[in-house]
Amino acid sequence: MTGANRIFQKASLIIRAQLVVLTFAGGAAAQSAECFALQAEDTEVGAMTYSAAGALTYSLRGQPDVTYVTHCSLNGQSQRTCSVDCDGGNMTLTDHSGSLDVDASIRIEQVRFTSLLSLAGPMDAGGRLLTGQWKLTPVPSAQCRALETRAQPLALVVGDVYPAVVTLEQHLMEGGYFINGPGMIYGPETAEAVRMFQAESGLQQTGIADFDLLKRLGIAATFSFGGC
């Protein structure tokens, strides 16, 4: 073997070794990703993330501020199916070393409470079955935290019937904005009273009692979240 051949063979071995190291490092990085996320909305899901803690967090289209959580940890496996203790639901996760496939059929619930302190209620319970397949890709862990900590506002509008309306109208009566007796129905007179309060408070006059307005009036109300 000539000197030139030995140099070429040695260089080839070094290059192959570097490729092996890079391949292993790339695979490890994909496997150890702390957050995966859906890159675009689909027909049902608005946002979806999966954290290293095994929490699948998602919101539905048209309800960006209401989040749901279903837990299923891979526990170091490349694929795992978790049963969901609700109506026989299940979820299968598949780690492809660079992406995560989610195949789920789960029932999710929404409940409104009138008080964050006493959790009085629930007043509006309803469920739906979420079924589909989604591909998630690695993203910064902050994206998982942002969805997991998203606020859950309660917005009262004309036609709503909740105990929270009674508390709202009582506060509006004390301020001289509402003259009828308080009740559970958020009617046109309630919306007009809210607009009057918003106008005097320098707020946009929407007639909608959103989370910020309720907090300003001292009312603790929220739209709860969950998943099963």
Name the phi and psi angles at 44, rounded to 5.
Answer: -120, -40
SS3 96: coil
Please state, in angstroms and as integers, the Cα–Cα distance from residue 132 to each residue in 95, 106, 115, following that order. 17, 9, 34
Residue of 112, 201, 205, 119 whose CA lies nearest to 165: 112
Q: Is it the case that residue 226 has pLDDT exceeding 90?
A: no
- Provide the pLDDT for residue 88: 64
pLDDT confidence of residue 22: 33
**Do 132 and 206 fall within a single domain?**
no
Given a cut of 50, is residue 179 above it in pLDDT? yes
4 occurs within a structural domain: no
In a domain, 47, yes or no: yes
21 lies in a domain?
no
Cis geometry, peptide bond prior to residue 138 (ω within 30 degrees of 0): no
Q: What is the mean pLDDT of residues 48-56?
A: 93
Asked, for residue 25, whether it belongs to a domain, the answer is no
Domain enclosing residue 218, as ranges? 163-223
- Half-sphere CA count of 224, side-chain side, radius 13 A: 20
Q: Is the pLDDT of residue 85 over 80?
A: no
Range with top average pLDDT, 1-10, 89-98, 109-118, 209-218: 89-98
Q: Give me the percent of the chain exceeding a pLDDT of 90.
A: 36
Task: Please tell me the total count of domains within the chain.
Answer: 2
Q: How far is CA 2 from the centre of its chain?
A: 65
The residue-averaged pLDDT of 11-21 equals 38
Q: How far apart are CA 150 and CA 172, in angstroms?
A: 29
CA distance 225 to 150: 11
pLDDT, greater one: 18 or 67 = 67
Q: What is the pLDDT of residue 126?
A: 56
Confidence band, pLDDT 50/70/90 cuts, at residue 150: confident
Q: For position 6, what pLDDT does the model report? A: 46
**Cβ distance 106 to 123 under 8 Å?**
no
CA-to-CA separations, 212 to 32, 141, 195, 217, in angstroms, rounded: 39, 28, 14, 9
Looking at the structure, do residues 107 and 174 belong to the same domain, yes or no?
no
C-alpha dist (Å) from residue 90 to 51, 69, 123, 157:
18, 13, 28, 35
Q: Where is pLDDT greater, at 64 or 13?
A: 64
Looking at the domain assignment, is residue 16 inside a domain? no
Q: How far apart are the first and last CA of the chain?
A: 69
Is residue 197 located within the same domain as residue 124? no
Which residues on adjacent β-strands are paired with residue 113?
Answer: 222
> 104, 120, 148 — which closes off a domain?
148
Asked which of 123, 148, 173 is the last residue of a domain, the reply is 148
pTM: 0.56
- Shared-domain flag, residues 75 and 133: yes
pLDDT tens for 181-199 read 898 889 999 999 999 999 9
Residue 207 lies in a domain: yes
Average pLDDT, the chain: 76
Q: Is residue 158 part of a domain?
A: no
90/84 Cα distance (integer angstroms): 5
Residue 8 is predicted with a pLDDT of 39
pLDDT at 169 over 50: yes
**Structural domain ending residue among the three candidates 120, 148, 176:** 148
Q: Is the residue at 7 inside a domain?
A: no
